[in-house]
Amino acid sequence: MLALVGSGEYLEPIEELDRTLMGRLKGEARVVCLPTAAGTEGEERIAYWSRLGVEHFTRLGAQVEAMPVIDRASANDEAIAQTIAQANFVYLSGGKPDYLYGVLKGSRSWEAIESVLAAGGILAGCSAGAMIMGEKFFGFPGWKQGFNFLPQMTIIPHYDEIPEGMLATIRPIMGRGLTLLGIEGYTALVKNGGSCEVLGSGGVTIWNKNGKTRYTQGPLPLTFS
């Protein structure tokens, strides 16, 4: 199960969404929070995201710890990877998507995350953590290849925060044959097997060459083989 969150990780308005996700796990929630996307922002910010994640999931009654996956060396640390593999819920908080993808791709930590998914666990990514899950994402500079959990799609988090005038600049994305998935704050696009749904207080906008439609809580007309 993949949960792509627009914004608001670890904050009070998103607690109900995370409770819902935890309720879909087999057994008690064992959460690992990874502040990887903030790895270039200094020790204070890394500690902030780690602490926020632990406090959030502790309030929700989960077993939780934050692991310092902040660069390639830590991403390939065997002890860290083993801890991740023992979780059933991995959470990637926000920051820089290109840095996050570069640190995780091909690492032992990513192999551990894949093992969590293969065992029926959840991978949640907020903001940058959501962006890297599509086929492509816009990094600095230019377009980057993502992990492609959602083929032919690009993820735009913070969608409800983008000014209306700026949305017009998104149209060229459609010329690349990509479907845009705009995810609002405190909202998740949840992919479970071949189907998708919206969870949370906001909406998800599907925007492609045929136009754009906003969906709120409930099933999304997206299917994957």
Count of alpha carbons within 13 angstroms of residue 134, beta-carbon side = 28
Domain boundaries, the chain: 2-223
Q: Which CATH architecture has domain 2-223?
A: 3-Layer(aba) Sandwich (3.40)
Q: What is the C-alpha separation between 119 and 99, in angstroms, rounded?
A: 27
Residue 145: C-alpha distances to residues 51, 68, 102, 119, 199 (Å): 30, 24, 10, 25, 26
Contact present, 207 and 179 (Cβ < 8 Å): yes
Q: How far apart are CA 135 and CA 153, in angstroms?
A: 5
Residue keyed to tokens 């029926």: 120
Give me 119's structure tokens: 């065992």
pLDDT tens for the 225 residues of the chain, in order: 999 999 999 999 999 999 999 999 999 999 999 999 999 999 999 999 999 999 999 999 999 999 999 999 999 999 999 999 999 999 999 999 999 999 999 999 999 999 999 999 999 999 999 999 999 998 777 789 999 999 999 999 999 998 877 777 766 665 568 899 999 999 999 999 999 999 999 999 999 888 899 999 999 998 876
What is the structure's pLDDT at 171? 64
pTM attached to this predicted model = 0.95
